[in-house]
Chains A and B, each alone.
Chain A
Amino acid sequence: MMSATASHGRAVMLPSPSGALQHQQPSIGSDMFRLRRKEPRGLRLIVAAKYKGTKMREEKLSEMIVEKVKEATEVCEADVRSEECKVAWDEVEEVSQARADLRIKLKLLNQDPLESFCQENPETDECRIYED
């Protein structure tokens, strides 16, 4: 079971949609953080996110779930059959599924979605190896 990813005290930097997460503009991320990626210490058994960018995605999705559930609960208080209510819960579903898909990829398939991107762009911030 995935443990809840709470960001207690830790400042989580969420990239904006037009920032480092989009493949088309990787330079925005790497321009801001000119840190070099550390060499990985030996072989690492991948059971969780390998790259920082993936870890950030995981956290972002989890936070979105919290937000959107809250939103949907509020919107539906007015009228549970309204369009707004339907759409709000649909968003919750979309984000929950996206979160689950990422979890499946990492745990079951051992694939980090940034693997291929990071092979080509190891210098970007989101390709820093995530160390627990």
Chain B
Amino acid sequence: MAVSTIYSTQALNSTHFLTSSPSSSSKQVFFYRRQTNRRFNTIITCAAQQTVVIGLAADSGCGKSTFMRRLTSVFGGAAEPPKGGNPDSNTLISDMTTVICLDDYHSLDRTGRKEKGVTALDPRANDFDLMYEQVKALKSGIAVEKPIYNHVTGLLDAPELIQPPKILVIEGLHPMFDERVRELLDFSIYLDISNEVKFAWKIQRDMAERGHSLESIKASIEARKPDFDAFIDPQKQYADAVIEVLPTQLIPDDNEGKVLRVRLIMKEGVKYFSPVYLFDEGSTISWIPCGRKLTCSYPGIKFNYQPDSYFDNEVSVVEMDGQFDRLDELIYVESHLSNLSTKFYGEVTQQMLKHADFPGSNNGTGLFQTIVGLKIRDLYEQLIANKANAPTEAAKA
């Protein structure tokens, strides 16, 4: 008769314990199965958590941004606020991912910031020690009581319990500001919106509001600019991927910000991350897909691909200017891009269609956000496979 007993690792005398190694974040369970003729041990790694941490720097609010929705969608499942909790929570949870808004780490609430004379962009308004501790804890598989910053009342509400997820995304103004937090990130993204596009987007966002006018929108952007340039913008040098959004070059003097030129700047040499390329890796390509095989409506689509240098880092840049009008344009473009980390032909298109009503679905913003989502999935799977192999290899030794 086979008897299975489970012993805690401390009870065994073997010297091959990996849980004692500080680098391992997985708990291990040893199964002993005693059979009549022989005895053998099997070591099964029961990973408590292999949390992958992604940082996203964006100045467009938290957790409700379409980028996050696209990202979580790649992993499957819709991301929703925690059920039964504070309705003003900024957190989003899906099966695989939890998205935390870094505004929750404000050390000063709205009144406090007014008193001290600091904006939310200022590092003095944020508790980086707490941010570091909690991200570190979640990464190690420990749940945390995270504060909630209420954007409606401007107050810090009672904390909410966050369980360590498989993928943790920290989104906000300062994911890469603190060096210790930076080191915890497995991948980081910076969403770089140019001033002209920012202005156009904010007009679209605010003009319907009673309180706003062109002047107030402009004044708000300008007043925040010094702090933004001083504290937020420098983070882009640390990002593994930068999505740069600029006005189109296809329409002369376009200032509506509807047609966009989007550049995906990807750092070379990042572990588990292979940059997307067009046709021939490392070369310089200029590509207009519209022609005999594909008809596009005005202003069409233009792609560029080239190696480049960005803040002393070697990067590869894929750029799309223009917009998709039809499904077949999207599929055509997808079929010519390489290293997309898709699991099947047409996956990028499928993901874009899933969220066809989201802003940016017909241009480079949606396209590159989706691609970055697939890259993160790829990175996650590689990381997990790698961590799973390490203990079993060490056990064999």
Contact = CB atoms under 8 A, between A and B. Distances in A.
A36 interface: no
Nearest to A65: B211
Interface of B: 60-62, 64, 69, 80-81, 83-88, 110, 113-114, 117-121, 151-155, 157-158, 202, 205-206, 208-212, 216, 219-220, 222-224, 226-227, 357-358
Given A100-B205, A108-B357, A21 B152 contact: yes
A23 B152 contact: no
Given A2-B208, A24-B158, A117-B87, A97 B60 contact: yes
A87 B114 contact: yes
B117 A5 contact: no
B88 to A, nearest CB: 7
Interface in A77-94: 80, 83-94
Contact of A68 (B60, B80, B211): B211
Closest 4 CB pairs of A and B: A83-B117, A66-B211, A89-B223, A65-B211
A30 interface: no
A81 to B, nearest CB: 8
A60 interface: yes
Given A66-B211, A89-B220, A89-B223, A98 B151 contact: yes
A74 interface: no
Interface in A83-115: 83-101, 104-105, 108-109, 111, 113-114
Given A76-B223, A86-B224, A87-B118, A114 B87 contact: yes
Contacts, number: 134
A1 interface: yes
Given A90-B223, A109-B69, A116-B84, 20 more contacts: A1-B208, A23-B85, A24-B157, A57-B152, A62-B210, A62-B211, A65-B206, A69-B216, A76-B219, A83-B118, A84-B117, A86-B227, A87-B118, A87-B119, A88-B223, A89-B224, A97-B61, A100-B61, A100-B205, A100-B206
A120 interface: yes
Contacts of B83: 116
A86 B226 CA distance: 9
15 contacts: A21-B152, A22-B157, A61-B152, A65-B206, A65-B211, A70-B211, A72-B220, A86-B117, A90-B223, A93-B220, A93-B224, A97-B60, A98-B152, A99-B209, A116-B83
A17 interface: yes
Given A57-B152, A87-B118, A4 B210 contact: yes
Nearest to A93: B220
Contacts of B212: 65, 69, 96
Nearest to B119: A90
Nearest to A121: B84
Which of B62, B84, B157, B220 counts the most chain A CB atoms within 10 A? B220
B118 A96 contact: no
Given A23-B87, A90-B121, A94-B151, A5 B210 contact: yes
A73 B223 contact: no
A54 B385 CA distance: 44
B208 to A, nearest CB: 5
Contact of A72 (B80, B87, B110, B219): B219
A32 interface: no
Nearest to B223: A89
Contacts of B154: 91, 94
Contacts of A109: 64, 69
B119 A113 contact: no
Given A62-B209, A66-B211, A73 B216 contact: yes
Given A1-B208, A68-B211, A117-B84, A90 B120 contact: yes
A17 B80 CA distance: 24
Contacts of B227: 86, 90
A65 B216 CA distance: 10
A110 B177 CA distance: 34
B81 A113 contact: yes
Contacts of B69: 109
A13 interface: no
Contacts of B219: 72-73, 76, 89
A101 B69 CA distance: 13
Contacts of B211: 62, 65-70
A6 interface: yes
